[in-house]
Amino acid sequence: MRGDSPPRVQNFRFREVKEKMPDALSLVGRRLAIFMPNFNHAHFLPTAIEALLTQSVQPREICILDDASSDDSARVIREYASRHPHIRPVFLSKNRGVIRNLKEWLEQSSDDYVMFAAADDVVLPGLVEQSLALLAAYPQAGLCSARSRLIDTMGKDLGQYPSPRPLAASGFISPELAASTLMKYDGWFMGNTTIYQRLALVDAGGFDEGLAGFCDGYASRVIAMKHGACFIPADLACWRRTRDGVASLTVSQVSTAVSVANRAVLLMTTTHSSYFPANYARRWRGRWLFSTAVVCMQGLTWQDRTRDLTSLFGRSHQPQQFFLSVLAMMPVRVAEVVLLAVLRPWDLWLVFCRRVLGRR
């Protein structure tokens, strides 16, 4: 992929940028607003908020919205807001759901840059500063993202999330390179490290509620292929991946996963067809269904697995139903290989290189 890479800053030197224009970076920070939706995450909130407050470049505003939590969240938010004037608390009396809250806040925002922080995640030092420096250097870019680590509910480090790395050094990814990267590896975007150009996000349609936990991933794909994107190949956030998180539920609930797949493919082939490469929708759907099918295979019984796989792929004819029943009886690792060959044949060599040869 190096031969296809467009001209960009090699080894982008954030320290030099900071030394040369510290006041400029602060001014850019004043053009950023951060939105943190929360629902019953009082236990995680202090860590998440402190991580934002210790960023070297502070945003104009940190809006923390509590979605009618029943725990101690409201008290925690009020305490931080009383000590930090740029924290704006919002308290809802009725739960509306995270996607709707993201959409409404974005519609009301007028800032140049926006970031969406999860109340149970942790941003790492340098995320805001480095992202804004890159976005200032490449004003055509629609977003900037970095890599992320996984942590458990206790905060234990579980290692780096295995997302693709489109650039070896921090820089700009052209729309052409973004398209070819998506075809080969798919999305590299991590929602908890992404800062958007607000107008680019609005132009991409914002957050589509029909896409559930994939709404930010879909918008990022459209933005990258229309405007290009900045990327930092460093771990600049921690994702507390839980079973009841929006992203996990989107994949693990079969009916939701199928609905998201249908909605995304419709948008890729109609509204945004001019941005997506030919056959990308088919590749993405195969990869998406594979992820959900692997989750289905975690079912405790053969009946559970057969039921979920049937819901995912449908009961179109007897041979297919027989195949799904046999698949459900296979050991999980064996079933994954079969599913990979059926749903993602174009990715067989890539997966082999990653898992067997250890290549990135």
314 part of a folded domain: yes
Indicate if the pLDDT at residue 321 is higher than 50.
Answer: yes
- Tell me the residue ranges of DSSP E strands in 79-161: 87-91, 113-116, 122-123, 143-151, 157-160
The enclosing domain of 150 has a CATH number of 3.90.550.10
Domain boundary (241, 268, 295) is at 241
Whether residue 272 sits in one domain with residue 225: no
Answer with the residue of higher pLDDT: 224 or 352. 224
Q: Show the tokens assigned to 58.
A: 């502070």
Chain centroid, CA 151 distance in Å: 16
What pLDDT does residue 23 have?
64
**Higher model confidence: residue 168 or residue 14?**
168
8 Å CB contact between 288 and 264 = yes
Cβ neighbors of 66 (< 8 A, separation 6 or more) are: 38, 39, 73, 74, 77, 89, 90, 91, 92
- Total domain count, the chain: 2
Do 216 and 281 share a structural domain?
A: no
Over residues 299-319, the mean pLDDT reads 78
Residue 153 forms part of a structural domain: yes
Q: Please check whether residues 232 and 297 belong to one and the same domain.
A: no
Q: Do the domain assignments include residue 55?
A: yes
Indicate whether 73 and 198 sit together in one domain.
yes
Q: Which has the minimum average pLDDT: 38-42, 105-109, 304-308?
A: 304-308
The residue among 241, 269, 295 that closes a domain is 241
Is 335 or 234 the better-scoring residue by pLDDT?
Answer: 234
Q: What's residue 5's pLDDT?
A: 34
pLDDT averaged over every residue in the chain: 89
pLDDT in tens, 83-138: 999 999 999 999 999 999 999 999 999 999 999 999 999 999 999 999 999 999 99
* pLDDT tens, residue by residue, 200-220: 999 999 999 999 999 999 999
pLDDT, tens digit, for every residue of 137-196?
999 999 999 999 999 999 999 999 999 999 999 999 999 999 999 999 999 999 999 999
d(CA 124, CA 148): 9
- Domain, as residue range, for 345: 248-355
CB neighbour list of residue 84: distance below 8 Å, 6 or more residues apart: 53, 62
Residue 13 pLDDT: 58
Tell me the longest C-alpha to C-alpha distance in the chain.
68
236, 317: one domain: no
Q: How confident is the model at residue 20 (pLDDT cuts 50, 70, 90)?
A: low
Domain end residue (candidates: 193, 213, 241): 241
| Residue 310 in this model has a pLDDT that exceeds 50 | yes
The pLDDT of residue 59 is above 90: yes
Once rounded to an integer, what is the mean pLDDT over residues 43-53?
A: 98
One domain for residues 168 and 279: no
> What does the block give as tokens for 294?
């692997």
Q: Is the pLDDT of residue 332 over 90?
A: no
Q: Which of 20-29, 111-120, 304-313 has the highest mean pLDDT?
A: 111-120
Q: Which of 32-36, 312-316, 323-327 has the highest mean pLDDT?
A: 32-36
Residues 228 and 156 in one domain: yes
Mean pLDDT of 285-290: 95
Judgement on whether residues 339 and 257 belong to the same structural domain of the protein: yes
* DSSP structural state of residue 116: E
Do 283 and 336 sit in the same domain of this protein? yes
Query: What would the mean pLDDT of 326-347 be, rounded to a whole number?
Result: 90
Tell me what percent of the residues of the chain surpass a pLDDT of 70. 89
pLDDT for position 9 = 38
Q: What is the pLDDT averaged over residues 50-69?
A: 97
Does residue 360 sit within a domain?
A: no
- 134 belongs to a structural domain: yes
Assess whether 7 and 108 both reside in one domain: yes
Residue with tokens 């999330």: 161
pLDDT at 8: 38
Regarding whether 80 and 30 lie in a shared domain, the answer is yes
